[in-house]
Structure 1
Amino acid sequence: MRTDALVVFTFVLFTFVRAGVHNIETLQISGRNPYKWNGNDIPYTKNKDVNIQKPVNEIYPSAVLFGRTCGGTIISPKWILTAGHCTLFTGGRDILAGTNNTENDTGVRRKVKRLVIHPRFSVGPYWLDAQQFNLKQVGARYDFLLAELEEPLPLDGKTMVAAQLDSRARIPVGEAAGYAGFGAERHGETMREDMHGMDLEVLDDNECSSLEQFNAEDMICTKGRPPRYDSACNGDSGSGLISNGRILGVASWVEDDATVCRNGARVVFSRVASARKWIQDVTGI
């Protein structure tokens, strides 16, 4: 058994930043940057003499909470894209969209009418640590699940927006992307009430070739960008990897043991382009 445990995100992942909740992201700012990481200022872009800030759910308006334990992405008013393995631990019978906090009344809830799992979805050999409620040594193939909603979401172009499906067989190395959600800060903790964002970049496939269950056919290799070197933790599975309004991938698994939830760990997403035709055939989008 490899010492680098490959972990499917069990509850799953909606974003984790070890140094605290980032429920506001600074887009353009002049003067002193209010955000620090390990005592150092986080780099920012000087533009005008104003602070322009947006809640995370407006930066990632396609992000939703799926089944209370996973992330997901709006791809049309009636369809959510998430991870197939999310069905192992949650029925996924409702979603929450359009909010930066799970406890306020600004979000929109919808019941799930139907779940459709990718026909090639499979989970590798694994063992279940019941005490830690954690799947280990798992790398899921074609880790996709579509959820049809009973009623359409009222997309408003601000807090609820449908992401476009990426069609590229290969994504340029270094392309900046990110995702957002309500995942735990540390393993074993509950999911967060406030949405927070992750800042990643696409790696060369060869940089994940050392991970036993990585397959570039249907997976994307990513890693956190400096200075935070974000990774993922429980509650982030199913979250969409977003770049310029397109969903590139779906959060599937992470290198290393999930009990670590360490910054700098590589995060593997299921490649949306590999399932684009299936998604379109099922949803009609």
Structure 2
Amino acid sequence: MTNRFEGKVAIVTGGGSGIGAAIARRLVAEGASVMISGRTENRLAETAATLPADRTATRVADVAIRKDCDALVVATVEMFGRVDTLVNAAGMNLVGTIQDTSDEDWEACLRSDLSGVFYMSRAAVPHLIETKGSIVNIGSVSSLGGGWSHAAYNAAKGGVANLTRSAACDLGKFGVRANTVAPGLTVTGMVEAIMEDETLLDKAWDRIPLRRAGQPDEIAAAVAFLASDEAAWITGAILPVDGGQTCTDGGPEWGK
């Protein structure tokens, strides 16, 4: 594996498990020092235990809380001296239509999936300007085509896509890039219900040309590319990593 991130420093939110943990492992494997954050200390410790101690740090933080985001960036700079890459991977899934989504669930989903991206990006931008770094957000194919029974989640991920484009426009003059990776069905704890239900899987395969779910490492590979200098001429992009789902005639129908 190449060392595209040797001497670089990354923050990965939601890094205790799933896609976030895979991203942290990939960036460290390519030479980066990484601050991994999440809400569960035990999960963070488990991820960090598999990585080089001299290039890995963890911090418990909830991206839905602005002060946590500010403190996370400060701690990263104190630990490693700089920030080159911010990966906003933290988030939650929420099943529910407009009719049956409560005010509390709506607000919690938007805080976690959208406000957290805003808070983290705003806190990191001054440091990213110094390093001419980049932001990579984890969105969803739902941001590109909607979908059934995920009103709050789809709205939040749609917001992430447009926030990414806004950041790309506003920060380009400073040499800072912003992109989003939009995963399709990926094998993580968030989609366990789908992976264990043969009826839902049959619906999924009808809409995924490659007829399989993605792996967290495959999402991490796309993130590493967009964060690297190989993508120096790419900003404002929403990159589907979805087995071809977004080239079919509809969005995810598994909850209909």
More strand by share: 1
TM-score range, shorter chain: under 0.3
Question: If the length of structure 2 is used for normalisation, what is the TM-score?
Answer: 0.28
| RCO higher in structure (CA 8 A, sep ≥6) | 1
* TM-score, normalised relative to structure 1: 0.26
- Whose helix proportion is higher, 1 or 2? 2
